[in-house]
Structure 1
Amino acid sequence: MRSAVLSVLTVFSLLIFECRSPATRKVKVRFWHAMGGEAQKTLKELVSEFERLNPDIKIELVAMGNYDALAQKLLGAVAVQNPPTIAQMYENWTTQLHAAGQLEYLEDYIYGANGINTAELTDIYPGLLENNRWNGKILTLPFNKSVPVYYYNVEMLRQAGYDSFPRSWTEFREMCRKLIRRNPDGSISTWATANGTDIWIFGSMLFQRGGKFLAQEDG
């Protein structure tokens, strides 16, 4: 949670120096997101705390309900040149928006006089921060990251000779072969595992095996 808190407050603080009007010293920041449930509750608490510490700034939280709706409205808003100040987005949205010239590098804000210190920046997991760089420069900041976990039937694993979950893909593959159950006609009655088909899940597994989406850099 600390990394998430840091990311949200970092984004807010960076925008202060970008948007603040010298004349009025009042800033309104529109923040589009797709958070719900407890995550949205936590986000509202973070915003309230930020506004308490910065009374001259108003954060307008706009919940889009889900990622599909957020993507559609965000790209539509960009098309009519009325985007929010900041928005939650997937990496592939970043590619589209950056190609359209709609995103700004954050280096000057992060490392500027009113930026964040080294300790705060290093509090973000290196892998997550690197995933937000474009040509070596920070273009976005990690906001929330989903971590896949496996739920498994302990008894079925025990019957297959396992007292713990595999720690490598090789072991996992071998375990799955042992867990598959077939009908007399050879058809499968019990699958060993089931995964989602989202691109981020497929991509994670592909990269872990040393694969690439494209055979060459030029596609």
Structure 2
Amino acid sequence: MRKRLILALLIVSFAVFTFAVTEIEFWHAMGGAQGTTVNEIVASFNEANPDIVVEAIYVGNYSALQQKLLVSAESKTLPALSQAYGNWTARLIPRDAVQELNSLISDPEVGLTDEEWDAIWNPFKKMVTWGDTVYALPFNKSTYVLYYNTDLFEQYGLEVPKTMDDLLFAAMMLTEDKNNDGQIDQYGFGFRTTIDHFMIFLRANGGEAIDIKPDGSVEVTINSPEAKEALQLMYDMAHTYKVALFQGGYLDAPFGDGQIAMFV
């Protein structure tokens, strides 16, 4: 009887250990349709891994997520996983708040095969690597493209801009005070007052913010003639020629309302 009892207790003990579930919080800033997709991916993972439960927690916009991560790093209440920009990650690494991933990526059981790792676009891998250490995995990335109102372009007889001069010309042609009240009703172009949009103009003008040397050293080149020309063009479109609406928020609403004819 005693042997049977010990055996039964061991079986129960092993059963509890075997079916123990690992619960993980995953913070993200994907709302709307993107949030729905994230939840579907998480649900699919949970279904395929019954011993792991990932809880996707929508924190809010990127600013709210960044603030929550930095505050949580101070109080040591960070989640197991989080979406983050590279510059946020760079602030967390010195605080020993981020797990290095080299050992996990190369792990034969839970890691990635060479084929899987090579399939990730190299610039994305560079953005999550500090020195020789990988601290994150690519999650989502925005690609900047020019949106333009095709009906207006046809109405005004314009071609899609291919150069910055073309962009300025189209913006000037499309800007109108339709009711002649002294206020512009339709701007030819719209841009956000962010570093991203400046970088778009800078790169389109053949410039770069930094130059990475073969030895890995970095030279800041933001004060180049190309950068000054790009910034001058943005200033002129907004203030000199007044053909561009500029604001901090997203531009899909003004575009949909007909307030702007183009935006990046």
Q: What displacement does 1:37 show? A: 1.1
Is 1:60 the counterpart of 2:60? The answer is: no
Checking the alignment, whether the CA contact within 8 Å between 1:30 and 1:84 is kept in structure 2 is: yes
Match of 1:201 in 2: 197
SS at match of 1:194: strand
Q: What displacement does 1:207 show? A: 5.0
Q: What displacement does 1:56 show? A: 0.5
Alpha carbons of 1:193 and 1:83: their partners in 2 closer, same or farther (altered >3 Å)? same
Is 1:129 the counterpart of 2:121? The answer is: no
Is 1:211 the counterpart of 2:208? The answer is: yes
Deviation readout 1:67-90 (Å, 9 max, x if unpaired) = 111111111111011110010111
Residues in 1 aligned to 2:21 and 2:200: alpha-carbon distance in whole angstroms: 43
Deviation readout 1:153-183 (Å, 9 max, x if unpaired) = 34655677754441xxxx2334413541589
- The correspondence of residues 11-22 of structure 1 with structure 2, limited to 5 A, is none
C-alpha RMSD of matched pairs (Å): 3.1
Is 1:73 the counterpart of 2:65? The answer is: no
Match of 1:46 in 2: 41
Structure 2 length as normaliser, TM-score? 0.61
Checking the alignment, whether the CA contact within 8 Å between 1:110 and 1:116 is kept in structure 2 is: yes
Checking the alignment, whether the CA contact within 8 Å between 2:161 and 2:170 is kept in structure 1 is: no
Structure 2 letter corresponding to 1:46: I
Per mean C-alpha deviation after superposition, the further-off stretch among 149-158 and 77-86 is: 149-158
Residues in 2 aligned to 1:38 and 1:153: alpha-carbon distance in whole angstroms: 24
Is 1:89 the counterpart of 2:84? The answer is: yes
Deviation readout 1:41-63 (Å, 9 max, x if unpaired) = 11111111111111000112111
Partner of residue 173 from structure 1, selected from 149, 165, 168:
165
Structure 1, unpaired ranges of 5+ = 1-22
SS at match of 1:31: strand
Partner of residue 138 from structure 1, selected from 134, 137, 153:
134
Alpha carbons of 1:54 and 1:146: their partners in 2 closer, same or farther (altered >3 Å)? same
SS at match of 2:190: coil
Alpha carbons of 1:155 and 1:58: their partners in 2 closer, same or farther (altered >3 Å)? closer
Structure 2 letter corresponding to 1:146: S
Deviation readout 1:2-23 (Å, 9 max, x if unpaired) = xxxxxxxxxxxxxxxxxxxxx5
Residues in 1 aligned to 2:200 and 2:98: alpha-carbon distance in whole angstroms: 25
Match of 2:237 in 1: none
Residues in 2 aligned to 1:79 and 1:102: alpha-carbon distance in whole angstroms: 9
Match of 1:4 in 2: none
Residues in 1 aligned to 2:101 and 2:197: alpha-carbon distance in whole angstroms: 28
For the pair shown, the structure with the greater C-alpha radius of gyration is 2
Residues in 2 aligned to 1:103 and 1:89: alpha-carbon distance in whole angstroms: 11
Q: What displacement does 1:38 show? A: 1.2
Q: What displacement does 1:129 show? A: 2.1
Alpha carbons of 1:178 and 1:83: their partners in 2 closer, same or farther (altered >3 Å)? closer
Residues in 1 aligned to 2:201 and 2:124: alpha-carbon distance in whole angstroms: 17
Deviation readout 1:125-153 (Å, 9 max, x if unpaired) = 22222222211432211111122222213
Structure 1 length as normaliser, TM-score? 0.72
